[in-house]
Amino acid sequence: MAEAVHPATPGAPEHPNGAGSQYANPAIAFEPNDWPLKPVAAIAIAVLILIVISAFVLIGAYPTSLPDVDRKLSIAPPGPRLQTDAAGKLRSFRADEEKRLNGYSWIDKNKGVVRIPIEQAMKKLVTTGIPDFPKAQQQ
C-alpha cells in the first residue's frame, strides 16, 4: 500500500530529520494547543506599563529621594576595628576559659550555687549519677 504524499507547500520548513524534504501536510507543522500570541503580548505590554507607572508613582511618593543621590557624605564613617594583638587575645581568652574550667567561683551566692573544677564535677557525676536519669543495666 502506497502512502499518499501531498505536494510540498512553498516556504514550508524543512523536515527535522535533515533529509531535505518538506512537511507533507503544512496544517500539522505547529502545536494547535499553543497559547494565542495576542493575549500573551497584551499581558507583557500590561506588565511593562505597570512597571513604568509604578516608577512614576514611587517618584511622586518619595520626592526627596532622587535629589539625595548626589549628596556628598559629610562625616567619615569609623574605620574597621582591627584586632591588633590576635595571639595575645587568644592567650587571654584561653587563660580565662582554663580558670573557669579548673577553678572555684560563685554562680549564685544567695542560692549557694558554686562552680567547681571540671575534673571534680565529672568524678562527682560518676559517683552520684544524674537525678531522674535511667540507670544503666549491670551485666
pLDDT at residue 56 tops 60: yes
pLDDT digits (tens, 9 = 90+) for 8-31: 555 555 555 444 455 566 666 666
Residue position matching grid coordinates 550555687: 113
Residue extents of the structural domains in the chain: 95-128
Residue 3 has pLDDT above 60, yes or no: no
Arithmetic mean of pLDDT, 114-123: 92
Size of the chain, expressed as the number of residues it contains: 139
pLDDT at 91: 96
> Can you tell me the mean pLDDT for 37-56?
96
What are the b/e assignments for 70-80, b being 16+ CB within 10 Å?
eeeeeeeeeee
pTM, full prediction: 0.36
Answer whether 114's CB lies under 8 Å from 121's CB: no
DSSP secondary structure letters along 15-44: PTTSSSPBPS-GGGSS-TTSPPHHHHHHHH
